[in-house]
Amino acid sequence: MAPLLEVEHLKKYFRAGGDRQLHAVDDISFTLEAGKTLGVVGESGCGKTTLGRTIVHLIEPTEGTIRFEGEDISNPSKKDLRRLRENMQIIFQDPYSSLDPRMSVSQSIMEPLLLQGKLSKAECREETLKLMKVVGLAEDYENAYPHELDGGRRQRIVVARALALKPKFIVCDEPVSALDVSIQAQILNLMLDLQEERNIAYLFVTHDLSVVKYISDDIMVMYMGHMVEKAPSGLLFENPMHPYTQALLSAIPVPSIHNRKKRIIMQGEITSPINPKPGCRFAARCRYAAPDCAQAQQLEEVERGHFVSCCRCHEIKKAQAYQTN
């Protein structure tokens, strides 16, 4: 099956004064099939959100190729971009700031349908009520405003609005980070049900590793604009190969006083993303760093579907296995 989305060598740099550039996204490549979820994790500032916004052209890429259903959409015209908006949507992190406070629930959901211009106003309202039912919003809230609702209901409005044009791909930018745990579960289960029903592909951006494990088919780990590891969800948690991934996973709390795992504390100075030098950007914080790390790192497929950008990953794994034994 041909992938729905193909991203090749995508870069997004921002000017930082003079000839300096901030490398927010630096040479990212991946594919995503219809009906699948790619989770993107990493520390704040690693480029996760910028990656998602670049793909849907909220900001334009510096270099690289983006293909959607086999069509090159790297530099779309205004007409092409309007057509793409029907198939590519985004759910923002903060539902309150992404909703117009002057628009009611029904108006917010109906707006993309009216702008599309394919349905009459009566048909748009009918479709809006259907979407409210799909995401679990009672009709009683049709004329309510965002400030009158809790975070869970506001997030359901945002999900309904993203679904209005029946997209094939949605960027989910920290869609549950601001919600209580019980509400998080409701929204995640809703998104999984909608994905199964409509065959939607998600790019799920988050810093919550328990959430990304639950919802993702594959997981990409980013550090300072680079992809350092990518693997199927279960495999990444069972066999993390990159030292940065291992440190992230060690921070997940274990609900047991008898089975405590050793926390890996990252030390050292964080590399500046402005005109970074070639080589591993994690080296300054890596306890396994060696002279070879100063060379440009290449993604290597260490096992089927498992890619790692670390010249020492095999040596590290052997050393860890020896220490365990």
What is the rounded CA–CA span in Å between residue 40 and residue 196? 20
Give the residue ranges of DSSP H helices in 166-229: 181-198, 209-215
Q: Does residue 127 form part of some domain?
A: yes
Please tell me the total count of domains within the chain.
2
Domain with 106, as residue range(s), is 5-216
- Total-model pTM: 0.91
- pLDDT band with cut points at 50, 70 and 90 for residue 63: very high
Give the pLDDT confidence of 157-192 residue by residue, as tens digits: 998 999 999 999 999 998 888 777 878 888 888 889
211 and 244 within one domain? no
Q: Among 158, 186, 216, identify where a domain stops.
A: 216
* pLDDT class of 87 with cuts at 50, 70, 90: very high
Do 132 and 274 reside in the same domain of the chain?
A: no
Q: What is the β-pairing status of strands 37-41 and 63-68?
A: unpaired
CA distance 125 to 132: 11
Neighbouring CB atoms inside 10 A of 308's CB total: 25
Do 19 and 126 share a domain, yes or no? Answer: yes
Rg (alpha carbons) of the chain, rounded to whole number: 21
What is the Cα–Cα distance from 292 to 294, expressed in whole angstroms? Answer: 5
Q: Are the CB atoms for 223 and 57 separated by under 8 Å?
A: no
**Structure tokens belonging to residue 308:** 């790692």
With H, G, I as helix, E, B as strand and everything else as coil, classify residue 52. Answer: helix
pLDDT band at 322 (very low <50, low <70, confident <90, very high): low
Output the average pLDDT for the chain. Answer: 90
- Indicate the residue among 160, 181, 216 that finishes a domain: 216
Contact 220, 53 (CB under 8 A): no
Helix pair angle (105-116, 121-134), 10° resolution? 130
Q: CB within 8 A of 247, min separation 6: which ones?
A: 264, 265, 266
Please indicate, yes or no, if residue 63 is contained in any of the structural domains. Answer: yes
Nearest Cα to Cα of residue 162 among 84, 91, 101, 110: 91
